[in-house]
């Protein structure tokens, strides 16, 4: 596994400037690469698109629907019995009220359990400049990237092949390089 330091830039010209600064600082071309990281959810990991096989926000919807059906059916039964008792309506009205309430309850329950987007991915989109470094040169690379305007400077281990980060995973959360995290910069 190789040691890699990377930083995010908002434009390709800014990333290219950072790469040139790395070359000027003594890093060689086969140890520097830049590439665009797509926005959250646009990494096309699955055939129709997207990054995950199921919507994370919908995981709890079925439980909510089950709870909603039970509550809705109970409320509908009470309303149906009330209509039946107050207006001497046929028994079918009570059953319809219970069924409609159960259906509405399932919808409301499912929606209540569906949560706001909890983006598990924490990597922002942008142009990533990655540098294959040694333990001795990692801080120098990070300093050059920071001085060039790089954000979210991170350290990673990965496969560096043919001048690029071969096993980069955009869904894997970055590990900040503590010496250059935005709190310390």
* 25-36: average pLDDT: 95
> Distance from first CA to last CA of the chain, Å, rounded?
28
Residue 132 pLDDT: 96
Order across the sheet with 126-133: list the strands.
Answer: 32-37, 126-133, 2-9, 151-158, 175-176
Condensed to tens digits (0 to 9), the pLDDT of residues 121-138 reads 467 889 999 999 999 999
Confidence at 183, pLDDT banded by 50, 70, 90: very low
Rounded Cα distance, 134 and 31, in Å:
10
More confident residue, 21 or 122: 21
User: What CATH number belongs to 2-49+121-180?
Assistant: 3.30.70.260
Q: Which helix (H) or strand (E) holds 156?
A: strand 151-158
Please identify which residue in the block is written with the tokens 């894997």.
172
Question: Is the model's pTM score more than 0.85?
Answer: no
> Has residue 27 got a pLDDT over 90?
yes
More confident residue, 67 or 146: 146
* 140-158: average pLDDT: 94
Confidence at 185, pLDDT banded by 50, 70, 90: very low
Give Cβ neighbours of residue 116 (< 8 Å, ≥ 6 apart).
Answer: 57
Residue 49, sorted as left (phi over 0), alpha (psi -120 to 50) or beta, turns out to be: left
Residue 121 pLDDT: 46
User: In the chain, where are the structural domains located?
Assistant: 2-49+121-180, 56-113
């Amino acid at each position: 596994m190789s040691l890699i330091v990377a930083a995010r830039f908002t434009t390709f010209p800014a990333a290219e400037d950072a790469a040139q600064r790395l070359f000027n600082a003594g890093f060689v071309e086969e140890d520097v690469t830049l590439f665009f990281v797509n926005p959250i959810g646009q990494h096309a990991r699955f055939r129709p698109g997207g990054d995950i096989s199921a919507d994370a926000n919908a995981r709890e919807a079925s439980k909510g629907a089950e709870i909603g059906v039970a509550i809705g059916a109970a409320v509908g039964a009470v309303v149906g019995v009330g209509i039946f008792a107050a207006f001497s309506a046929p028994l079918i009205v009570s059953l319809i009220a219970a069924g409609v309430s159960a259906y509405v309850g399932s919808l409301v329950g499912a929606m209540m359990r569906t949560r706001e987007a909890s983006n598990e991915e924490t990597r922002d989109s942008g142009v990533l400049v990655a540098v294959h470094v040694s333990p001795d040169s990692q801080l120098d690379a990070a300093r050059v990237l920071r001085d060039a305007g790089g954000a979210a400077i991170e350290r990673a281990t990965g496969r560096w092949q043919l001048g690029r980060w071969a096993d980069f995973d955009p869904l894997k959360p970055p590990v900040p390089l503590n010496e250059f995290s935005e709190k310390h910069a």
